[in-house]
Amino acid sequence: MANTGEMLREARERKGVSLEEAEEETKVRARYLAALENEEYDVIPGKAYVKGFLKIYANYLGLNPDEVILQYKSSQFALSDQAVPEQPPQRKKYKRTGNYVKKRTAPKWKTYTVTALLAMAAIVTLVVFNGQWSKQRVGGENNSALQENNINLGNDQGKNASHQKPGEKSATPQPNHAANNTPAGNPGNKTNNQIQKNYPQVSQNQPNKNNNGQATDGVNVVLKTKDQNCWVKVVIDGQTAYTGTLMPGQIKSFDGKEEIRLVLGNAGAVEVIYNGQNLGTLGPIGQVVKDKFPRSM
């Protein structure tokens, strides 16, 4: 008894058609029809397609489809009823060529951490710098404001004195020289006795001397700054002779005929030498002092 493939081939040859002509009529590809005749069932995708193609081809060739399928089932070349599991697709492997080395990059979180730390360090540095700069600026502004207030105070007192009538007491409050044991009163009206009371080390019997120790008929005042700046205003015989800031260690000497008036913005930073005699400082650090030094005692 002929097998399934031989049965189909013989029926096609008896009909006198080629595989291409059979493909045209059955709409089944010639390669699948040849696989049925050669019993190469693994070429056809799936058992259901094999049975379907056998049925179509048997009807076209004038054979009994049920007998052909039965013959196919009993054939030793029939596909097993057990489905063959599909294999997962394999990833294509690429062969490395050359000296390719994958460059390692730092994780993003490390980059973000370093950036944040640098930003914080910059902010802290900026805050510290601004704080120091602000302190210096505030100190300079306070010193300038203090000096300006001293000038205004002196001008106001001068105006009050010019408008004061003979015998009339001044209504302008006077500075209190507590550090020098100076009684309340106008420094511009200070007498020789008051100078002697405030500065007992000044002798009335000694002649007036300048900075070089030479005797002089007028008045000499020497200012010696210590370790801090001091704003100074010097008025000699009614005329402003100097207005400015003395630096630490700076020495200035002033000579007048009748009197010398001083305004010190930081009295504790300046030593005053009056007619060759060192009076020391006229007040503590930061205190504003105004004083008058006459020609003779």
- Tens digit of each residue's pLDDT (9 = 90 or more) over 160-194: 444 444 444 444 444 444 444 444 444 444 445 55
- Residue span(s) of the chain under CATH 1.10.260.40 come to 4-74
Polymer length of the chain: 297
Whole-angstrom distance, CA of residue 236 vs CA of residue 223: 14
pTM: predicted TM-score of the whole model, two decimal places: 0.34
In this structure, how many other beta carbons lie within 10 angstroms of the beta carbon of residue 265? 25
Instruction: Quote the CA–CA distance of 131 and 216 in Å, as a whole number.
Output: 52
How far apart are the C-alpha atoms of 257 and 297, rounded to whole Å? 13
DSSP state of 20: H
pLDDT above 90: residue 235: yes
Q: In the predicted model, what is the mean pLDDT of residues 199-214? A: 58
CATH architecture of 4-74: Orthogonal Bundle (1.10)
Judge contact between 287 and 176, C-beta under 8 A. no
**Apex 282 CA angle, 277 and 285, nearest 5:** 135
Residue 206: is its pLDDT beyond 70? no
